[in-house]
Structure 1
Amino acid sequence: MPMFVPLLGKVKKPLPLIVGLISAGIISASAATYLILQRSSNQIDLQNYTVPVQAAQNLTVRVSASGTVVPIQTVNISPKTAGRLVQLLVEQGDRVRQGQIIARMDSSDIEAQLAQAQANLAEAQARQAEILAGNRAQEIAQAQAQVNAAQARVDLTSGRVTRNRPLAEEGAISRDRLDEVIADDNSARANLREAQQRLNLLRAGSRPEEIAQTRAAVAAAAAQLKAVQVQLNDTIIRAPFNGVITQKYATEGAFVTPTTSASSTSSATSTSIVAIAEGLEILAKVPEVDIAQIKRGQRVEIQADAYPDRTFQGQVRLVSPEAVVEQNVTSFQVRVSIVTGLDQLRSGMNADLVFLGSKLPNALVVPTVAIATEKGKTGVYVPGDDKKPVFQPVEIGASIEEKTQILTGLEPGMRVFIDFPEKLKPKQDTDN
């Protein structure tokens, strides 16, 4: 068998041909791939991935929020002083008028105090009348008679002194006897002065100090009577305003004590008798970013979970001036008056609200999902000449439900991508 010895120096000659063939194959494959992709992009059905820019007429800004139906005013009713409840005149669900009697407390002790206070006042008034009326004529006449008697006594004793003084000087009577006569005269004169003073007082009437004292006594007795009457009136529990009895906490015979009238009615307390609520409204929480669009008097659409197929109407009554922070979320409380649906809505119901804001005439809008961010700029993707997505910067306005207003950058009729074919999906900023 013949032997073949390889020629090592000649084996490299076919290499240029091989390299050329490989290069040609790669180029052909790349060209084929490009043609396939180009043909694929040209065959994109834009109807499946894009929507037209819409020109909406009179677009209304709508701000959504959640809320709860709550009473406009609610209080717990309790007595001003502790005591036993003897009569309860209402039931849960009853409508009451302002001033209507809803309960009575035991008043037996206070009624006894009232009788005593009335007696004290009558006594003080009688004493005052006596002082103001002055002295009777009979008393003055009696005092005058006492003065006359005292004067007669003085005349008698004075005459004795006149007669006995010379006798004592002549020694006809002793000096001691004269002293006795003089002492009787002095005593008679003192009695006369006392009787005259009493007569003068009776003629002058009562002193101003006595009159003032009696007036003060009458005023004090009247004040005490009024205080007891107030206590008695406080045993009658009345409705502070027109409303509905929402809770009933106590029964007849129970011992109840005072409590804060503004305490919450959501939890029963033995110190309250009943809870009364007036009217209904919706308390909503609006996010901080939307609160600038909420104004007093603004129309509101209301939907309650209990009536999913009905939309009630409301109106913004109050926007809280202070924010509420819960779980690091800042919001503002907004109170909404219920215009329609008062007969259907109940306290405690959940509600979804839509605040109807300003109108945007001839506003260009696109689906909010079409908004993208590329290199820090906000925009949308529009089909290029080859139907591939091309980023188009835009200036956006308000977002209404699932649409966003376009202020600049697009024209009506242009199409924007809301979805992309897998092979043509652009790279967007990760913070979008």
Structure 2
Amino acid sequence: MPIYSTFANHFHTYHIYQKKLVLACVVGLSMILTACERPNATQSSNNADNPATASTAQALKNDEIQLLSSDVITAKAERYQPSVTITGTLQASDTATVQSTVSAKVQQVLVKVGQTVKKGQSLVRLDNQDSENQLAQAQADVASAEAQAQVAAELAQKNKALLDQGFLSEMEYKHSLADAKAQQAAVKAKKAQLSIVQKQSNDTLIVATADGVIASRQVENGQVISPNQALMTIVNPNKLEFSANVPSETQAITVGQSVPFTIANSTHQFVGQVSRIAPEIDPLTRQLPIFIAVQPEQNGQTLKAGMFATGQLEYGQIQVGVLIPMTAVSFDKQIDKASNVTATSVKTTDESQLQSGMIMVIGQDHVIRSQPIEIIRSQDDTGQYLVTGIEQGTLVITTALSRQDIGKKAILK
């Protein structure tokens, strides 16, 4: 028992010692870890207090700008045809106005608007009662004048015989001869008056002066009309045209030149030809009037007078340059200064003066730079400029950037 008791005491003492040793190791390891962590916290605190280190990390992000692929185009050489948009209303180019030559009451209107007529066809019948009376009177006047002339001529002939026999003086013969001549002149005057009355009588039936369609009518049954009054209009539906005014620089157009155009509320495209060009420019508007002939039957449709046309007239020589969207060009003088480039004015081929612009490009090093360009032409309908000053393959930024973006690295998404 004493031996076993002694062994038990020693084992119990060893077990307690072992626990203390483990505890001491744990405490020591914890102190070591704590000591190691303190320098890192201190270092973080020092970095936070150091503005130079923090700003450097932020500046790297500010040197980049992200762009969409749709914000960039690749410059390519393209052919450019100068053109101008023209507008006008289709009208009949062959028109005839029917007028009255007499003062009369309308007895009957024989045609309606939209009706096709032939030259010489009766259009309006007038009340000719007064004209018939005037005609009868004029015919009677002619007959009376002819009878008086006949008597005067016979008297002059008899007086000539008496003069030859010595029974009549020469003075009396001359008087009879003069009277005969006067009566002949009166006959001519009465016949002229009869011709006028006959024409007026015939004019009581008004006829068409040309083939075509009745486009308008300003006369009704029972209406009293006066000489030279417009009664109706006849148009040729197979001949249409529209007129337009173009800028003075478009003088390079020629008769017969094709002009594509569209009609309001229609998706079809039609074609006309330049038929006439005014000989001079309007000094007030500086515009040149032109006329475009149009065939009414096109694309299975029938064009009619009154339709509104919008066409595209090409002029001048085809030019080669780079077409870029107008949104890519800036006229900001601040950007010019940032690039140390001074914008100057350039003259286009039509002698109109346009300001040089600036564009943003992406270099091979992916850095954004500004570059001056010269505008050759402005095409408002497509929203593009024809420019020089950049090479093919240059990446041009089409979205708006500020001068602070110059020098940044472009990241395309």
What's the TM-score, normalizing by structure 1? 0.65
Take 1:250 and 1:199, find their aligned partners in 2: how far apart are those partners? 66
The alignment partner of 2:312 has SS state of: strand
The alignment partner of 1:394 has SS state of: strand
Kept after mapping to 2: 8 A contact 1:63/1:290? no
Q: Does 1:357 align with 2:379?
A: no
Q: Does 1:223 align with 2:204?
A: no
CA pair 316-139 structure 1, distance change in 2 beyond 3 A:
closer
Take 1:140 and 1:381, find their aligned partners in 2: how far apart are those partners? 118
Kept after mapping to 2: 8 A contact 1:78/1:256? no
CA pair 316-199 structure 1, distance change in 2 beyond 3 A:
closer
1:51 to 73, 76, 81: 73
Q: Does 1:394 align with 2:373?
A: yes
Deviation, 1:349, is: 1.1
Aligned partner of 2:263 in structure 1 is: 304
Deviation, 1:420, is: 4.3
Q: Deviations over 1:106-127 (max 9, x none)?
A: 1111111111111211222233
Aligned partner of 1:239 in structure 2 is: 208
The alignment partner of 2:93 has SS state of: strand
Opposite residue 313 of structure 2, the aligned amino acid is F
User: What count of residue pairs does the alignment treat as equivalent?
Assistant: 337
Q: Does 1:366 align with 2:324?
A: yes
Kept after mapping to 1: 8 A contact 2:74/2:395? yes
The alignment partner of 2:267 has SS state of: strand
Kept after mapping to 1: 8 A contact 2:146/2:187? yes
Q: Does 1:105 align with 2:126?
A: yes
- Structure 2: 5+ residue runs without aligned partners? 1-44, 334-342, 344-355, 407-413
Deviation, 1:91, is: 1.8
Deviation, 1:303, is: 0.5
Kept after mapping to 2: 8 A contact 1:296/1:319? no
Aligned partner of 2:167 in structure 1 is: 197
Take 2:107 and 2:75, find their aligned partners in 1: how far apart are those partners? 74
Percent identical residues: 24
Kept after mapping to 2: 8 A contact 1:382/1:390? yes
Opposite residue 391 of structure 1, the aligned amino acid is S
The alignment partner of 2:302 has SS state of: coil
CA pair 307-324 structure 1, distance change in 2 beyond 3 A:
farther
Take 1:425 and 1:419, find their aligned partners in 2: how far apart are those partners? 12
The alignment partner of 2:209 has SS state of: coil
Take 1:134 and 1:259, find their aligned partners in 2: how far apart are those partners? 47
Aligned partner of 1:254 in structure 2 is: 223
The alignment partner of 1:390 has SS state of: strand
Q: Deviations over 1:215-259 (max 9, x none)?
A: 221121112112212322332323333332112333323333456
Aligned partner of 2:89 in structure 1 is: 68
CA pair 51-290 structure 1, distance change in 2 beyond 3 A:
farther
Q: Does 1:281 align with 2:245?
A: no
Kept after mapping to 2: 8 A contact 1:324/1:330? yes
Opposite residue 338 of structure 1, the aligned amino acid is V
Alignment map for 1:33-44 (pairs within 5 Å): 33-38=58-63, 40-41=64-65, 44=67
Kept after mapping to 2: 8 A contact 1:324/1:333? no
Q: Deviations over 1:283-331 (max 9, x none)?
A: 3344x47654655443211111243233333325234845498xxx875
- Structure 1: 5+ residue runs without aligned partners? 1-19, 148-195, 262-272, 427-432
1:383 to 362, 369, 378: 362
Q: Deviations over 1:143-167 (max 9, x none)?
A: 99xx9xxxxxxxxxxxxxxxxxxxx
Take 2:97 and 2:152, find their aligned partners in 1: how far apart are those partners? 51
Opposite residue 394 of structure 1, the aligned amino acid is I
Kept after mapping to 2: 8 A contact 1:389/1:424? no
Take 2:174 and 2:400, find their aligned partners in 1: how far apart are those partners? 115
Kept after mapping to 2: 8 A contact 1:83/1:256? yes
Does 1 or 2 have the higher relative contact order (CA < 8 Å, sep 6+)? 1
Take 1:135 and 1:62, find their aligned partners in 2: how far apart are those partners? 84
CA pair 108-348 structure 1, distance change in 2 beyond 3 A:
same
Opposite residue 27 of structure 1, the aligned amino acid is A
Kept after mapping to 1: 8 A contact 2:276/2:291? yes
Kept after mapping to 2: 8 A contact 1:320/1:334? no
Aligned partner of 1:210 in structure 2 is: 179
Q: Deviations over 1:58-84 (max 9, x none)?
A: x43221122211222546534233322
CA pair 305-362 structure 1, distance change in 2 beyond 3 A:
same
Take 1:218 and 1:257, find their aligned partners in 2: how far apart are those partners? 30
Deviation, 1:381, is: 2.2
Aligned partner of 1:127 in structure 2 is: 148
Take 1:252 and 1:359, find their aligned partners in 2: how far apart are those partners? 60
Take 2:377 and 2:251, find their aligned partners in 1: how far apart are those partners? 12
Deviation, 1:418, is: 0.9
Opposite residue 280 of structure 1, the aligned amino acid is L
Deviation, 1:201, is: 8.6
